Amino acid sequence: MAYKITSRNERDTIELAENIESEKFENMVICLIGDLGSGKTVFTKGFASSLGIEEAITSPTFNIIKEYTTGEMDLYHMDVYRLDGKVGDLGLEEYYNKGGVTIIEWADMIPDYLPEDRLEIKIKISDDSEDTRIITITPYGREYEELCEAVL
Residues 34-92 have pLDDT tens digits of 999 999 999 999 999 999 999 999 887 778 899 999 999 999 999 998 887 778 777 88
Q: 91 Cβ partners below 8 Å, 6+ apart?
A: none
Strand partners, 65: 78
Q: pTM of the prediction?
A: 0.96
Q: How many domains does the chain have?
A: 1
**What CATH number should be reported for the domain holding residue 103?**
3.40.50.300
CA distance 103 to 113: 13
- Per the structure, the complete domain to which residue 21 belongs is given by 3-151
What is the tens place of the pLDDT at every residue in 80-121? Answer: 988 877 787 778 889 999 999 999 999 999 999 999 999 999
pLDDT of residue 82: 82
